[in-house]
Amino acid sequence: MGFRWSLGILAGVVMVDVCPGAARAAEPANPSASAQARAVLAYFGSLEGRKDRRLISGQFDGFGPGASLKACRAAHEKTGRWPAIIGLDYADFSPRGIETKHVNKVAIEYARAGGLVALSAHIPNPANPRGGGLRDNGVDLRTLLAPGETHDRWMKELDLLADGLAELQDAGVVVLWRPFHEMNGGWFWWGARPPETFIPVWRHMFDHFTRRRRINNLLWVYGPNHGERTAAYYGGDHYVDLVGLDAYTDFIDPGHIRGYADVARLPKPFGFTEFGPHGPENPPGDYDYRRFRDGVEAHFPRTVYFLSWNDRWGLGSNLHTREMLSHPWVVNRDDLPVGLGTRP
């Protein structure tokens, strides 16, 4: 039967029982992490090396006011399984800002149904006084931390994000928090900057959220794009809980997904923080998702979770996803320990 998990609440502490020999997760990066966050991290840390129920499924399901259960529901209708993780994003692209209330409503609904929640944020460029600027080039990240107008705008953005995350904390929801995704690529304002200017920004966000705002329901996820310098932007063991790669390709092998070895050396549970078949644009929706799981087993052995992108990349829009989510390796929502990512 593999591992047997149980959750109990005793004096406000989540007790997670793991059979002898299970891999133990490290302490959370945040020493004040909640009992629920610690339980989720311990669960992720126990999966590597298991022979079954070791790959947690996930499905992205929208941005800001457009967030919904549409993609997760499509996966369920096609496969009879709910993805274990719902992925959402705080970006509101219409006024080029940040929207948390509607996203949190969707996140809380999924968490209370037994799922886990992953959040990212396409944050507007604080160095751009007009707002927006997601794809601005040449931003000097040092200006975010130095006194001035850019720093003032940055702090307002951080507090908008923190307000949203605090609402989820009050609701008892653990968040896999993935800021600054694909930071080794040059398509977002925070990307492809010198690592020595990026890492202090990551750590500043971490310190502001955990020490000043006392947000303790987060597990911090480092998610570069596959390719070059995949570990160069790593914030450090005391600032990261989970690591991964974003990859958009049909071919799940080292020739098409580069940089795994460098990230896999980091002492954190590894996952595909975004996955989409075909490529970053115009997928045809005819991908055999069994290829993904088979490729993970053959070439990326540290993988314990994945998040499929939505629309034509999603689990409900491609082929053989029933076989994928029914495979003995895969952990879906109903396979998670009861109450794992929420406070009763």
Give the residue-averaged pLDDT of 296-301.
Answer: 97
**341 pLDDT exceeds 50?**
yes
Please provide the average confidence, as pLDDT, over all residues in the chain: 92
Tell me whether residue 322 is in a domain: yes
Whether residue 75 lies inside any domain: the answer is yes
Q: Is residue 341 part of a domain?
A: no
Q: Is the pLDDT of residue 336 over 70?
A: yes
Quote the CA–CA distance of 191 and 217 in Å, as a whole number: 26
Tell whether 111 is covered by a domain: yes
User: Does 342 map to a domain?
Assistant: no
The Cα–Cα gap between 68 and 88 comes to: 9
Distance CA 245, CA 270 (A): 8
The DSSP 8-state label assigned to residue 64 in this structure reads: G
- Write the pLDDT tens digit of every residue in 31-43: 999 999 999 999 9
Contact between 52 and 329 under an 8 Å Cβ cutoff? The reply is yes
Q: Which residues neighbour 15 within 8 Å (Cβ) at sequence distance 6 or greater?
A: 6, 7, 8, 9
Q: Model confidence at 49, in pLDDT bands (50, 70, 90)? A: confident
In the numeric block, the tokens 């399901």 are attached to 61
Q: What are phi and psi of 16, to 5 degrees?
A: -115, 120
pLDDT of the residue at 94: 83
Number of domains within the chain: 1
Q: Residue 330: which of 82, 105, 21, 128 has the closest Cα? A: 82
d(CA 241, CA 218) in angstroms, rounded, equals 9
Q: pLDDT at position 231, please?
A: 98
Banded pLDDT at 11 (limits 50, 70, 90): very low
Q: Per-residue confidence at 233, pLDDT binned at 50, 70, 90? A: very high
pLDDT at 16 over 90: no
pTM above 0.85, yes or no: yes
Per-residue pLDDT of 262-280, as tens digits, reads 999 999 999 999 999 999 9
Strand locations in 93-217 (E): 97-98, 116-120, 175-178
Q: Supply the CATH number for residue 291's domain.
A: 3.20.20.80
Residue range of the domain that includes 324: 7-335
Quick check: 14 pLDDT over 60?
A: no
Residue 340 in domain: no
CA distance 339 to 294: 30
Domain assignment present for 151: yes
Q: How far apart are CA 333 and CA 309, in angstroms?
A: 17
| Active-site residue set | 182, 274
Does 1 map to a domain? no
**Angle at the Cα of 30 from the Cα atoms of 202 and 112, rounded to 5 degrees:** 100
* 135-175 pLDDT tens trace: 999 999 999 999 999 999 999 999 999 999 999 999 999 99
